[in-house]
Copies of this chain bind each other. A is one copy, B any other.
Amino acid sequence: MGLEYENAPFIAVDWGTTNRRAYLLLNGIVVGDENRGVGAGSLSPSQYPDEIATIRRSLGDYPILCAGMVGSRIGWRELPYTGLPAGIATIAAKVVEVAPEVRIIPGVARCDTPQDVMRGEEVQLLGAVLADLVPDDAIVCQPGTHSKWARIEEGKLVDFVTAMTGELFALLRDHSLLASQLGEPALPGPAFAEGVDRGRSGDLPTELFQIRAAGLLGKVRDEHAGSQVSGLLIGCEVAARLRTLPNQTIYILDNGALGSLYASAVEILGGTARLVSSRTAFCAGTVAIRSHLHAAKE
């Protein structure tokens, strides 16, 4: 993309609701990392300086660039969203220094109806293009508690939509009448595939109860119920998106098991999926934003 990355080391932090992942970057390469289950959901604003000190004790006393829920209403400081279309330059222009050499990247909002918001995913999305993980024009899915489906055009984020699929799964697993059936993790396989196939109808309230009833009548083993429910929810989400995106390759940004489930669902529903590394994408995005900040200062 013709961007010149600066050489000076810095620390990029992907700071979500439940975790933060800190990477020490030198010449665009991760040379150290430090992760902790201390997300925006469990920190008050006054606790962030101590967390920053912890990161610097571990990775070194370098400038820090954060993205994610750290910049939200439940984070360190609520920053205004950037609008669409969003490229590296527009996002870099809204970065805020919240403490000495600690900066936060703002999120992106879709202000037209239907409204939508993201915080942190924009860095991965643009970074994936810069790192040549996805083409300049692409559909990218980021699985998660709140999965994002983004449209990239000419290297910029032009539109996106969110599905709270992961949150629905957690609600069912932790608090619903199905909870006792959902102790086992969701795995790819026949039970997941059956769920995906049934999820395409979009009749979640009914399909979910049928797993409960099948459990009561001994027709589904508890070890398969989690995979079925996961398949139902992911199938519902993926089928709705594929209906509006026929014949497109879906790039799935993920480093974990969830990405494999999404790729499997896309293929079951007749689409083409490619898994790419969200960690590599995030780091590439922060390096590009940092280069822009650096260039603007000069």
Query: In the complex, what's the smallest C-beta–C-beta distance from A272 to chain B, in angstroms?
Result: 21
A222 CB within 8 Å of chain B: no
Partner of A212, one of B111, B164, B172, B216: B164
A100 CB within 8 Å of chain B: no
Please give, as numbers and ranges, the residues of chain B lying within 8 Å of A177 by CB-CB distance. 164, 167
Please give, as numbers and ranges, the residues of chain B lying within 8 Å of A172 by CB-CB distance. 171
List residues 91-150 of chain A with CB under 8 A from any CB of chain B: 109-111, 113-117, 146-147
Q: Copies of this chain, how many?
A: 2
A140 to B165, CA, bound (A): 31
A29 CB within 8 Å of chain B: no
Assess whether B205 is in contact with A202, with CB atoms less than 8 Å apart: no
Assess whether B176 is in contact with A171, with CB atoms less than 8 Å apart: yes
List residues 196-222 of chain A with CB under 8 A from any CB of chain B: 201-206, 208-210, 212-214, 216-217, 219
A162 CB within 8 Å of chain B: yes
Please give, as numbers and ranges, the residues of chain B lying within 8 Å of A59 by CB-CB distance. none
Assess whether B206 is in contact with A237, with CB atoms less than 8 Å apart: yes
Assess whether B210 is in contact with A115, with CB atoms less than 8 Å apart: yes
Query: In the complex, what's the smallest C-beta–C-beta distance from A39 to chain B, in angstroms?
Result: 13
A175 CB within 8 Å of chain B: yes
Query: In the complex, what's the smallest C-beta–C-beta distance from A245 to chain B, in angstroms?
Result: 13
Query: In the complex, what's the smallest C-beta–C-beta distance from A198 to chain B, in angstroms?
Result: 9
Assess whether B202 is in contact with A115, with CB atoms less than 8 Å apart: no
Please give, as numbers and ranges, the residues of chain B lying within 8 Å of A163 by CB-CB distance. 203, 205-206, 209
Partner of A217, one of B117, B171, B175: B117
Query: In the complex, what's the smallest C-beta–C-beta distance from A258 to chain B, in angstroms?
Result: 14
A31 CB within 8 Å of chain B: no
Please give, as numbers and ranges, the residues of chain B lying within 8 Å of A113 by CB-CB distance. 219
A168 CB within 8 Å of chain B: yes
Query: In the complex, what's the smallest C-beta–C-beta distance from A209 to chain B, in angstroms?
Result: 4
Please give, as numbers and ranges, the residues of chain B lying within 8 Å of A66 by CB-CB distance. none
| Pairs of residues from A and B, 10 with the lowest C-beta to C-beta distance, nearest first | A202-B202, A163-B205, A203-B240, A165-B205, A162-B209, A114-B210, A164-B209, A171-B171, A115-B213, A163-B206
